[in-house]
Amino acid sequence: MYVGTGDRFELRTYGPGRGLRAIVRAEHEPVAVTSTAIRDYRRTLVTLGAEGDARLRRQQEEMLEQAPYPKHMPPFTDLEVDADGNLWTRGPTPPGDGEAPWTVFSPEGRARGVVVIPAGFTVREIGRDWLLGIVLDDDQVEHVRIYPLVK
């Protein structure tokens, strides 16, 4: 199990019956939360679930207008574990900026490298030498893709 608060790049790794196994830490450059990012975030949330309901849409807009927002994006937004037990962390992706790279750590918490994946590819599973995921076409139809992973 991995536990992190998102206020700094630190993840604690726990094993069954063994307690704390490792602490994964990394330097990262904080990414500011911009007014554009907040606007795009609000627009996405209001669009989801409020289609055709003007009253619900207004309520959501008001709630999001009053919500507090952090000064910086979290240092990691996604976590995956591959077939060898390596931890993959993805950095923040501000809206419209493409895909954030993934940083890979050994099971002991040592940085192994950075992986850049194709834009629009959502990772679903990581094997020893492949990445499996989904891409959306222009019509929002999902397509399964598998890419070789060269270490």
Tell me the per-residue pLDDT of 29-87, one tens digit each, with 9 for 90 and over.
888 888 988 888 887 776 665 566 778 778 888 888 889 999 998 899 889 999 999 99
Query: 97-139: per-residue pLDDT in tens?
Result: 567 789 999 988 899 999 988 888 889 999 999 999 999 898 9
φ/ψ (deg, to 5) at 139: -95, 10
Residues 78 and 89 sit within 8 Å (Cβ to Cβ): yes
Burial call 62-77: b when 16+ CB within 10 Å, e when fewer: eebeeeeeeeebbbbe
Cα–Cα distance measured from residue 122 to residue 78, given in angstroms and rounded to the nearest whole number: 11
Give the pair of three-digit tokens for residue 120: 């629009």
Give the pLDDT confidence score for residue 47 in this predicted structure: 63
C-alpha torsion angle, residues 133, 36, 101, 128 (rounded to 10): -20
Cα–Cα distance measured from residue 45 to residue 54, given in angstroms and rounded to the nearest whole number: 14
Give the pLDDT confidence score for residue 32 in this predicted structure: 87
Question: Which of 1-5, 15-19, 47-51, 115-119 comes out lowest in average pLDDT?
Answer: 47-51
Query: 34-43: per-residue pLDDT in tens?
Result: 898 888 888 7
**What sign has the CA pseudo-torsion 87, 106, 95, 124?**
negative
